[in-house]
């Protein structure tokens, strides 16, 4: 799937969320309640968008590090940032032992990237470069904004559904018992499914953008295999909530969840096997065109020094 198709898919999902919101607003019987609900949702998520970096850093207990402490980490991030023509993000290291990483910030000028102690212990330099390229792509792709839009509409749908439960809908528009059941139960579930689909779409997009940025999709695929295995064995710290799972390159709550089936509809991340399969297609494309460069190719590198 090309980056253009991925972007189109994301905005189609956003439009679907908006359409569901309008339908529920119409069912309630008037635009006033819908406008108020949307306003509340936008205000809340605007605050989350504006302060998301501070919240993420605080909940993961990440600390700023200097170039003297982590010279290779700084070198990798600086090279990738220069490649994307963006300022050097603030760099943090979390004491979390679960291998993971995330980036946040409302735009490239206010970006932060964080890695955990766990990820520094199991990835080699190639793999870490692939992970950081993925994370910086989230920033340059404006995924914080997109996630905030999806969250605002999703929360407003839930608010409208609860409003309909307590105040009822317009009987002429299909109110009554079945209508209230739909508004109270099915509409929030549908909104959550679409919202999670947006999150998965952005992960695919960051994988693709990161693979082209690092020019080493095989390294990112290798990193995802290691991270997937580790995430199921090492539980996340209590300070990280399920609402923050979408920030990370792999779901930090994987150890607490089941695998596959219907639950995938509510997953913030695509199945790792599918992510790897897409990266393998990109790797084949790059090998068939221009050679992959910009990253070491030795398979026997030592784990990244922390």
Residues taking part in catalysis:
135
Residue 147 contacts by C-beta under 8 Å, 6 or more apart in sequence? 198, 199, 202, 246
Token couple for 265: 């509809």
Pairing of strands 112-116, 101-104: antiparallel
269 token code pair = 């991340």
The neighbouring-strand residues paired with 94 are 62, 116
**Sheet holding 101-104: strands in order across?**
62-64, 90-94, 112-116, 101-104
Residue with token string 């309909």: 164
How far out from the chain centre does Cα 264 lie? 15
Give CB contacts under 8 A, 24+ apart, made by 294-301. 294/79, 294/83, 294/214, 294/215, 294/216, 295/125, 295/126, 295/129, 295/130, 295/214, 295/215, 295/216, 295/219, 296/125, 296/126, 297/126, 301/124, 301/125, 301/126
Residue 303 DSSP one-character state: B
Say how far residue 110 (Cα) sits from the centre of its chain. Answer: 17
Report d(CA 288, CA 115) in Å as an integer.
Answer: 33
């Amino acid at each position: 799937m090309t980056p253009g198709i991925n972007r189109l898919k994301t905005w189609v999902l956003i439009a679907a969320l908006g359409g569901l919101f309008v339908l529920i607003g119409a069912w309630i019987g008037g635009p006033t309640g819908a406008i108020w609900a949307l306003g509340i949702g936008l205000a809340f998520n605007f605050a989350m968008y504006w302060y998301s970096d501070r919240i993420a850093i605080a909940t993961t207990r990440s600390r700023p590090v200097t170039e003297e402490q982590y010279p290779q980490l700084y070198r990798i991030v600086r090279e990738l940032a220069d490649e994307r023509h963006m300022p050097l993000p603030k760099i943090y290291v979390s004491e979390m032992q679960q291998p993971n990483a995330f980036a946040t910030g409302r735009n490239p000028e206010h970006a932060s990237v964080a890695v955990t102690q766990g990820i520094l212990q199991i990835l080699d330099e190639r793999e870490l470069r692939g992970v950081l390229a993925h994370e910086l792509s989230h920033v340059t792709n404006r995924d914080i904004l997109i996630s905030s839009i999806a969250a605002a509409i999703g929360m407003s749908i839930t608010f409208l559904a609860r409003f309909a439960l307590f105040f009822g809908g317009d009987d002429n528009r299909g109110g009554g018992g079945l209508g209230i059941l739909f508004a109270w139960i099915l509409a929030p579930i549908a909104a959550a499914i679409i919202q999670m689909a947006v999150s998965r779409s952005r992960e695919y997009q960051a994988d693709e953008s990161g693979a082209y940025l690092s020019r080493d999709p095989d390294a990112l695929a290798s990193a995802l295999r290691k991270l997937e295995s580790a995430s199921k064995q090492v539980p996340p710290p209590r300070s990280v909530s399920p609402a923050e799972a979408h920030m990370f390159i792999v779901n930090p709550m994987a150890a607490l969840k089941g695998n596959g089936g219907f639950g995938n509809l509510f997953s913030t991340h695509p199945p790792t096997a599918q992510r790897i399969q897409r990266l393998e297609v990109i790797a084949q494309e790059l090998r068939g065109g221009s050679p992959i460069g910009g990253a070491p190719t030795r398979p026997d590198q030592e784990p990244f020094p922390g």
